[in-house]
Structure 1
């Protein structure tokens, strides 16, 4: 058997080897399902058993947790910009959070998870206050689409980061350095105070050694000793720092409440929306902040949610359905907690839900009545199944 290959596919590194492998498997016959699972599992594991090997204090409010596989084996490969969903027991509640990997894809003996303390943040505060070297956690494998694809995204990147949103940018920068990639990378990193800047020494050192990597720090509340750029990060400042945007892919990662503003600033510079990529693994804005929320409904008023075969619970309308279920010991599978990955889909058998704008509903979700419960809010009494 001979497998034809489109000449354009030759542009992909490894295309010839891939075709040869397809021909080999075709000649040998279909692999047994168990053989396929044995090959796939090391790259896409259902669960990872991780141990905290080191904790680095990046700033007063930020820690990097270096996680190694408890069995000592190499971790699955990942693309710079991806995240893992870390399962965390906080009191009586078992929950998870999507945490971007800040380490380089070249280092598969560990994942670095950089966590910043958030006001009212259940998991971030718990990790910073209680996690210790030697603690064990479970997680899913690497996941996410907020990564660089050179075929579609080009080799000239602009990255606008805020706070701990610098984590995926750090992974991308380390990837460029460790693999000697021919890629231009411009980071504009906003922080409130100068002492809030995460990875500042490493970022400045890398930018000093690599002419294709540029780092601009922007401080919104500068002290008397700050001599660098001062926010807000508006269209004029973006244009001055990064230059013309034509043909460049722009990445945004930071507080979700800033996304709409930054997109408007970029679009005012003539930058098309298709050239702007947003990190999705962040918490959606609460219902009162969404103008689409029905004004006549009180977010604090409780409704009844019945899970088929698992009982009923009373929950406030304004609490994400996933959080409300976890509060009551009910745990749909979940990963991104931002409406993108669809792992937390539940079927709405009766009742009505409100989806945050971040929800990435599929046509099949709408047709068959599925909700992404991480960004869904119960408007009425519900019956769901999962």
Structure 2
């Protein structure tokens, strides 16, 4: 895993609770990334290290800076720190870009539909700019849900793109709490629902592809609606920022004590039922490597030397892991003789 030290070139206020941090590209070795990927930022706040992944809102080949956009989360230590404290000229350590939520060109595609809510627009915005500028034969649709017009991230930039690419780019805005509402054919009250999915799909050009980024409710609504309409699930992609935990999966999980060998030092850690190995290790001050915390990367991978572990919440199978390799962000001990090596 490569680490870089980047300088903040600009801090841009997007909404009352969202900022974009624009990093200056290194002078000699430029950081390469793909639209839709994420950058993992590292901070030390009140003596503790915090690591958080944030999707690029910049687009390679279009934006000169490396941009990540961060929405304030109530009680969120890092998101509040970024919104309140980070300033121009600050130097921040980051990990190399990761993520497979990216656009792969298919010459037969006629349409790409992006589905987002709130800050889920971030990776979608990066891909939208790429598609509009570099793939002139593809029609682009954005279905974007927010509380109100004032909470729309990238509002001005999206409006400019809609004007500049009026024949290829359409935006459908959903507002759940908007009080002052000018209705037109592309503004809707409430939330994105299956009825709208059906209506839109009947009017787009096929073949098509879909990218979803937002809360689990949005993903389930869009995915289920598309499948019911006969859409091939292989043409539907989603970005996952949280592990989906089914309570049924935790019935056999109990409090356990494990041994963790990290950097040659062995530590005994108490794992509370329902908490992952990574969560408890960080709580006791072990600065383990990690990034996405959703089982989509391999940064927190450990090797099981004894005992039994169970991975819970993975959105898709990880066929790249060996039988004794586990992602600690979603791993839970089943026995009290667990020993893990990193």
TM range (shorter): 0.7 to 0.9
- 1:353-380 per-residue CA deviation (whole Å, 9 max, x = no partner) reads 3423325453463x52221112223454
Moved over 4 A (4+): none
Residue equivalent to 1:14: none
| Comparing 240-249 and 184-193, the one that deviates more | 240-249
- 1:272-322 per-residue CA deviation (whole Å, 9 max, x = no partner) reads 211110113x1213x4xx143234757xxx432311233112232323322
Distance 1:121 1:378, change over 3 A: farther
Following the alignment from structure 2 to structure 1, what is the Cα–Cα distance between the partners of residues 164 and 63? Answer: 24
Aligned pairs for 1:224-303 (under 5 A) are: 224-227=180-183, 228-244=187-203, 246-280=206-240, 282-285=241-244, 287=245, 290-295=246-251, 302-303=255-256
Residue equivalent to 2:179: 223
Q: Report how many residues are paired.
A: 333
Report the alpha carbon displacement of residue 262 of structure 1 after superposing the two structures with TM: 2.6
Asked whether 1:311 is paired with 2:270, we answer no
Following the alignment from structure 1 to structure 2, what is the Cα–Cα distance between the partners of residues 135 and 150? Answer: 37
Native 8 Å contact 2:253 2:332 kept in 1: no
Following the alignment from structure 2 to structure 1, what is the Cα–Cα distance between the partners of residues 63 and 31? Answer: 7
Native 8 Å contact 1:207 1:215 kept in 2: yes
Report the alpha carbon displacement of residue 257 of structure 1 after superposing the two structures with TM: 4.9
- Tell me the TM-score normalised to structure 1 length: 0.78
Higher helix share: 1
Asked whether 1:156 is paired with 2:115, we answer no
Native 8 Å contact 2:118 2:145 kept in 1: yes
Residue equivalent to 1:41: none
Following the alignment from structure 2 to structure 1, what is the Cα–Cα distance between the partners of residues 178 and 201? Answer: 21
Distance 1:65 1:154, change over 3 A: same
Following the alignment from structure 1 to structure 2, what is the Cα–Cα distance between the partners of residues 205 and 237? Answer: 25
> Which has the bigger relative contact order, CA under 8 A and spacing at least 6?
2
Q: Given the alignment, which residue of 297, 302, 318 partners 1:362?
A: 318
- Tell me the TM-score normalised to structure 2 length: 0.87
Asked whether 1:321 is paired with 2:274, we answer no
Distance 1:296 1:322, change over 3 A: closer
Residue equivalent to 2:82: 127
Aligned pairs for 1:344-355 (under 5 A) are: 344-355=300-311
Segments of 5+ residues of structure 2 without an aligned counterpart are none
- 1:238-285 per-residue CA deviation (whole Å, 9 max, x = no partner) reads 2324535652110001124542333112222222211110113x1213
**Larger of the two Rg values belongs to structure:** 1
Higher strand share: 2
Following the alignment from structure 2 to structure 1, what is the Cα–Cα distance between the partners of residues 20 and 93? Answer: 17
Q: Secondary structure at the match of 2:280?
A: helix
Following the alignment from structure 1 to structure 2, what is the Cα–Cα distance between the partners of residues 153 and 78? Answer: 25
Residue equivalent to 1:39: none
Segments of 5+ residues of structure 1 without an aligned counterpart are 1-44
Distance 1:150 1:318, change over 3 A: same
Native 8 Å contact 2:253 2:333 kept in 1: no
